[in-house]
Amino acid sequence: MATFKAVVIEKAEGGQRAALTTFDEADLMEGDVTVRVTHSTLNYKDGLALTGQAPVVRRFPMIPGIDFAGVVEQSSHPDWKPGDAVVLNGWGTGETHLGAYAEKARVKGDWLVPLPASLTPQQAMAIGTAGYTAMLSVLALERHGLSPASGPAVVTGAAGGVGSVAIALLAKAGWHVIASTGRAAEAEYLRGLGAAEIIGREELAKPAKPLAKERWAAGIDAVGATTLANVLSMTRYGGAVAACGLAGGMDLPTSVAPFILRGIALYGIDSVMAPQALRREAWSRLARDLDHAALAAMTTTIGLDAVIDQGPEILAGRTRGRVVVAIS
């Protein structure tokens, strides 16, 4: 088809404007693989792009959406042929390269990974970049040498996308998971995913002490700022925390005390430019380790025509778990 449906962000007076419209295939950017996109998802970064609340979009016009699942239509890349089922996360799609909220995408073949055989495209995007980031975080903790025998693990932003998948992954692996959330009404949902304890966001919102009582051996933090500082101050000797989000801010009001007196480690998790081998390992583990029933319980599905309205909702913390966008 010469044209297809897409959400397009244009510059507008005083900011930007997003609209569902038609897009000409001839205006797609350079790439050696053209994909028929079947599903995408809604991540925090997508909410920032859709609303313009942060300078995520670096060129205009832009099709937002940082990840997708779909089927290869055309390829001059040696690794891909028409009919291959693929997944893409990051690489600047939806920021500097036309992204996923469209019926077609043209990208570099080196950015793609094969869709795991045990996952449907819908399930892959129920995982999405948030779930893939959660898996990268788990891998970092494992490489540090931590296991369920090390002690509890805390997950912040627990009812969000990263947090929901992190809880499900850790719980299935046998961890005692402590879920931190500002939404008390989601307690039953979090316990259903495997959380053993639930603590209020306010417990980690006060100014952090250099060192506080040791509470957990591991942490996955999607919030940043004071929350991360408190998580670090409460991490047990020799423990580790994976930092993968900034929903609470980019600052980190902490001290060197947890690092030099308790020997803990802070791992930064980058999902955008992660190397191909790590991506494939993460997706292989997700296909193997993530319980499909837990994934279904955390997932809702919307159409492409509803995604613009969902941008403010995810930024306000009013979405739960994972939101799949059915493209076609």
9-63: pLDDT as tens digits: 999 888 899 999 999 999 999 999 999 999 999 999 999 999 999 889 999 999 9
Are residues 177 and 234 located together in one domain of the fold?
yes
H or E segment to which residue 24 belongs: strand 15-24
- Residues 210-266 have pLDDT tens digits of 999 999 999 999 999 999 999 999 999 999 999 999 989 999 999 999 999 999 999
Whether 154 and 252 map to the same domain: the answer is yes
DSSP result, 233-292: HTEEEEEEEEE---TT-S-----SHHHHHS--EEEE---SS--HHHHHHHHHHHHHHS-H
CA distance 236 to 226: 18
Residues 32 and 142 in one domain: no
Question: What is the tens place of the pLDDT at every residue in 104-152?
Answer: 999 999 999 999 999 999 999 999 999 999 999 999 999 999 999 999 9
pLDDT at position 292 is 94
**257 is a domain residue:** yes
Residue 66 domain-assigned (yes or no): yes
Q: Which of 140, 162, 175 is nearest to 268 (CA)?
A: 140
State if pTM tops 0.95: no
Q: Which token pair is 261?
A: 């007196």
Question: Domain end: 268, 286, 309, which one?
Answer: 268
Question: Does residue 303 share a domain with residue 237?
Answer: no
149-177 core/surface letters (b: 16 or more CB in 10 A; e: else):
ebbbbbbbbbbbbbbbbbbbbbbeeebbb
Confidence (pLDDT) at 14: 81
Report the C-alpha gap between 1 and 73 in whole angstroms. 11
Alpha carbon distances (Å) from 254 to 180, 229, 251? 19, 5, 9
| Phi–psi pair at 12, nearest 5 degrees | -140, 165
Region of 175 please: left (phi>0), alpha (psi -120 to 50) or beta. beta
Residue 122 included in any domain: no
Domain containing residue 315: 3-115+298-326
pLDDT at 317: 87
Residues 96 and 150 in one domain: no
Q: Would you state the pLDDT for residue 12?
A: 87
Task: State which of 221, 250, 268 marks the end of a domain.
Answer: 268
Domain match, 74 and 144 both: no
Q: Compute the average pLDDT of residues 52-80.
A: 96
Mean per-residue pLDDT, 291-310: 95
Domain assignment present for residue 292? The answer is: no
Are 177 and 134 in the same domain? yes
Instruction: For residues 216 and 211, give the distance between their C-alpha atoms in angstroms, rounded to a whole number.
Output: 13
> At residue 129, what is the residue type?
T
* Mean pLDDT (the chain, rounded): 96
Instruction: Indicate whether 93 and 181 sit together in one domain.
Output: no
Reported as a pLDDT band with limits 50, 70 and 90, residue 2 is confident
Are residue 133 and residue 180 in the same domain, yes or no?
yes
| pLDDT value of residue 1 | 54
Element (H, E) at 148: none
Q: Which residue has the tokens 């492409």?
A: 304
Instruction: Please report whether residue 289 resides in a domain.
Output: no
Domain membership of residue 291 (yes or no) is no
First-to-last CA distance in the chain?
A: 13
On the question of pLDDT at 164 being above 70, the answer is yes
Tokens 């380790």 — which residue? Answer: 289
151 and 23 belong to one structural domain:
no
User: Into how many domains does the chain fold?
Assistant: 2
Tell the residue number behind the tokens 């509890």, with chain if given.
152
Select from 227, 228, 223, 233 the least CA-distant residue to 202: 227
Last residue of a domain, one of 218, 253, 268: 268
3-state helix, strand, coil in the chain (%, to 5): 35, 30, 35
CA-to-CA distance for 272 and 111, rounded, in angstroms? 10
> Is 135 contained in some domain?
yes
Distances (CA, A) of 168 to 67, 80, 155, 179: 21, 32, 11, 11
- Please calculate the CA angle 281-286-292 and round it to the nearest 5 degrees: 165
CATH of the domain at 182: 3.40.50.720
Round to whole Å and give the CA distance between 212 and 235: 8
Residue 121 within any structural domain of the chain: no
Asked if 190 and 306 sit in the same domain, the reply is: no
Q: What is the CATH number of the domain that holds 61?
A: 3.90.180.10
**So what's the pLDDT on residue 15?**
86
Same domain, 259 and 311: no
